[in-house]
């Protein structure tokens, strides 16, 4: 596997590379997907357990239903956008450097929400080592 980490020391500041995990969850209860407090707490807990540094969390509750929760990370960002009427959510976790594990964060969030189905892809971003 190629290394996509360039510059800086292992886990240090200045690495222009990271992993961007995009996920779709389904089979989630509508009540869970329309609860901004639960979603923010679940997102924060998953990110911290995965080694990310959460700087700020915010959310927007939509009418008649749905929530977008966003986390500003030292390593980049994470978000969840819910569709309670469909039992589904989109999740996006991007972390630069090697400290945080965005795949683990998505897995932990999936488990916390109780999704019965998930589709996950990881995109390596940044410059490749020569």
Active-site residue set = 76, 81, 96
CB 29 within 8 A of CB 88: no
Tokens of 87: 């039992």
CB 126 within 8 A of CB 4: yes
Phi, psi (deg, nearest 5) at residue 74? -60, -35
């Amino acid at each position: 596997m190629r290394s996509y980490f360039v510059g800086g020391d292992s886990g240090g500041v200045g690495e222009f590379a990271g992993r961007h995990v995009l996920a779709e969850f389904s089979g989630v209860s509508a009540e869970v997907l329309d609860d901004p407090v639960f979603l923010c707490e679940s997102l924060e807990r998953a990110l911290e357990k995965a080694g990310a540094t959460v700087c700020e969390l915010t959310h927007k509750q939509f009418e008649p239903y749905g929530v977008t929760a966003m986390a500003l990370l030292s390593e980049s960002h994470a978000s969840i956008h819910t569709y309670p009427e469909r039992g589904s959510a989109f999740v996006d976790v991007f972390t630069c450097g090697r400290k945080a594990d965005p795949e683990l964060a998505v897995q932990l969030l999936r488990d916390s929400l109780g999704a019965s189905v998930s589709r996950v892809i990881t995109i390596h971003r940044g410059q490749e080592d020569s």
